[in-house]
Structure 1
Amino acid sequence: MVSDNAIELLDHKDTATAVSIWAIFQESYKVEAKLLAVRNFPPLARTAKSIQHADTVFYCYRLQNHKIAGIVEVDNELDVDGLSISSLVVRPELFRHGIASKLVRHVLQLAVHRTVIVHTAKLNTPATSLYKKIGFIEKQSWESAEGITLIRLEMET
């Protein structure tokens, strides 16, 4: 478990920041693609430029050495009653240190009296276990065009 460090809003419109976000996405999503045994994994196709132009917000968890350990991307455009966790990634060397949990709990604090939704691969056991442990409930499942079974989880705050 890592000690409490800063969760902060990132300026993803800044080119260098977008590249940093992209790099962490690549590290983390490569591990997820391997876990799911898929070659065509849409999150890996995302570019730094698409991150820079995203209509979402990004929060990071920084270590004491100022290194970004994890990132959560939130889409606040769902509607007035909810928001969506679009991405949640942690540097692979820092998996299982409570960082993802802290980032999700931060989002839940932002979403008082709202519904928070997230989609993840059903076979991504670390993610599904985390969300269910926090209190998310599985609402729906379907198969993506890439053949990945996805689930939608929701939580009322």
Structure 2
Amino acid sequence: MIRKLNHKKEQVSKDIYHVFQASYKIEAKLLQVKFQDFPPLKRTVNEFQDSTTNFYGFWKASKLAAVIEIDKVNNITDICSLVVHPLFFRQGIAKKLLEFAVELYNSEIIIVETGLANKPAIILYEKFGFVLQGKYMTSIGIEKVKFSFHKTH
């Protein structure tokens, strides 16, 4: 079940934080980055609470299994984060959250970024119909890729 998360509440932000920590530790390993150097792992519970983005959670067996973080600016929807707790990997949850976001946000363009070495995410986005827009190097030496999905009405 997918539902909007009230990240302004401390316990909800803590739940989001725990899923992000578990998931991004796996991505940091894929990208061969030290945990302490990986920006997503530096986010605090307070930063989640103060965020202006929207968070939606996928619940499985009464546990928060995954979170998608979305920001919409004008007619572009930005998937800021899509994280699945490792206990729930390879169950199609990320795909369900992508489908949910595409349906919910009436944007012509949806964008998402990930690390170049995060092959599972890249495969997911490409299978879903996202198209590679470019690659770039971050200031901390992580090569990233940017994808876009153009919705047809």
With structure 1 as the length reference, what TM-score do the two structures score? 0.92
Match of 1:103 in 2: 97
1:125-140 paired onto structure 2 within 5 Å: 125-140=119-134
Q: Does 1:67 align with 2:46?
A: no
Match of 2:116 in 1: 122
Q: Deviations over 1:111-152 (max 9, x none)?
A: 335210001111100001100000000001100011111111
1:82–1:111 contact (8 Å) kept in structure 2: no
| Structure 1: gaps (5+ residues) | 1-5
Distance 1:110 1:140 in 2: 26
Partner-residue secondary structure (3-state), 2:33:
coil
Match of 2:88 in 1: 94
What displacement does 1:93 show? 1.4
What displacement does 1:82 show? 1.2
Q: Does 1:152 align with 2:149?
A: no
Distance 1:71 1:109 in 2: 16
1:12–1:52 contact (8 Å) kept in structure 2: yes
What displacement does 1:55 show? 0.4
Match of 1:33 in 2: 28
Q: Deviations over 1:31-84 (max 9, x none)?
A: 110111101111000001000000000001111x211110000011x22x1110
| Structure 2: gaps (5+ residues) | none
Distance 2:62 2:18 in 1: 16
Distance 1:10 1:20 in 2: 10
The two structures, once aligned, show a CA RMSD in angstroms of 0.9
Identity, % of aligned pairs? 38
